[in-house]
Amino acid sequence: MNSPVVIGNATLYLGDCLEILPALGRVDAVITSPPYDAVREYGGHAPVDTFRVLDGCARVLAPGAVMMWNVRDQTVDGSETGTSFRQALHCLELGLRLHDTMIYCREGVTFPDSNRYFPSTEYMFVFSNGAPKHFNGIKDRRNKTVGTVMHGTDRQTDGGMTKKRRSGEVIAAFGLRHNWWVLHNAEAGLGEFEGHPAPMPYPMAAGHVMTWTDENEIVLDPFMGSGTTGVAAARHMRRFVGIEIEPRYFEIACRRIENAQRQSRIFA
């Protein structure tokens, strides 16, 4: 294993995550977007065994830690492979909880099929090692009924009715997000992402970093790519561990994370 590159509170490994994961200590979150089936050629590297990677990630999750696994399926012969669901079930077999099945709604679609609705969603599976120790829910959804008072009832298992838990509260201007996020697509291969075919949207990484971790905790991305999770970690005062197998993408990640670390120090 090569010596890591240390940039501030980020530790970056150039190499195969299957070889590096066993040497790592516990982390507070894994936030990653693995290569999707064989949707894209990835630097000439052989397809990764994502099930073995999930094994390695599960071993390093501290109690209460969360793993956000952003994935979608390849379309073969006009239908989806279902690999994402097999990955989710594999995590349950490892003893993790499927805490939330979140959806990433892309602003654009690519290669729509003639016999299906236009594909524009991906999964953001949230697995946890026991009950999540943090939930810093983001409240940026504008409420349509702001200023009115909550009311209504909930039906119980015995058929009876009880008042809603927050009955009587005044509805605020902004409420908790839904578990489907409409996010701006990162511009692959352009600007700071030049040379990388599929960068993670920054709002995805930042949203999950803020939601599932607190300051100074450790965030891991075993498929670091262009380093977006590391950038989000730097901007939100989290420690970061990243692993990337492709040298070209590793260089992009190092440059972006170094810039983010520098900016964070200036603002601090």
Is domain 5-135+178-267 annotated with CATH 3.40.50.150?
yes
Q: How far apart are CA 129 and CA 208, in angstroms?
A: 16
Q: How much helix, strand and coil, in percent to the nearest 5, is found in the chain?
A: 25, 25, 45
Q: Given this model, what pLDDT does residue 90 score?
A: 98
Classify burial at 162, counting beta carbons within 10 Å of its beta carbon; exposed 0-12, middle 13-18, buried 19 or more: exposed
Q: What pTM was computed for the model? A: 0.87
Bridge partners of residue 153, in order along the sequence: 163
Instruction: List, by residue range, all CATH 3.40.50.150 domains of the chain.
Output: 5-135+178-267
Of 239, 255, 224, which is closest to residue 16 (Cα–Cα)? 224
pLDDT in tens for each of the 268 residues of the chain? 678 999 999 999 999 999 999 999 999 999 999 987 665 555 556 689 999 999 999 999 999 999 999 999 988 888 889 999 999 999 999 999 999 999 999 877 766 567 888 888 999 999 999 999 999 999 998 888 877 877 777 777 887 778 777 777 877 888 999 999 999 876 554 455 555 556 899 999 999 999 999 999 999 999 999 999 999 999 999 999 999 999 999 999 999 999 999 887 665 5
